[in-house]
Amino acid sequence: MPNLDRFSQGLPDPQDKPLDMVGVCGCGCRERIYFGDKGVWRDDGVYYVNGDHYAKASGAEGMDVEWS
């Protein structure tokens, strides 16, 4: 079983996952994020599938800015 702990992975290793995989969503849903995905949010080195996931992870109910 692959190790899904994002803190233990370090830099992406092209030998152990697809080249275009950026990481796993930081909100805890474990959805995979690929390079070029639309709407991906990045905060402090952590990637999120989109603004909704970021809002969930940050504890906000919503965000004032629009995203698409």
Positions in the binding site for Zn ion (CB under 5 A): 25, 27, 29, 49, 53
Cβ atoms of 66 and 59 within 8 Å: the answer is no
41, β-bridge pairs = 48
* DSSP annotation of 64: S
Nearest distance from residue 15's CB to Zn ion, in Å? 26
- Return the number of the residue (17 or 57) whose C-beta is nearest Zn ion: 57
- Return the number of the residue (25 or 40) whose C-beta is nearest Zn ion: 25
- Return the number of the residue (40 or 53) whose C-beta is nearest Zn ion: 53
Residue in the structure block whose two tokens are 């994002």 = 6
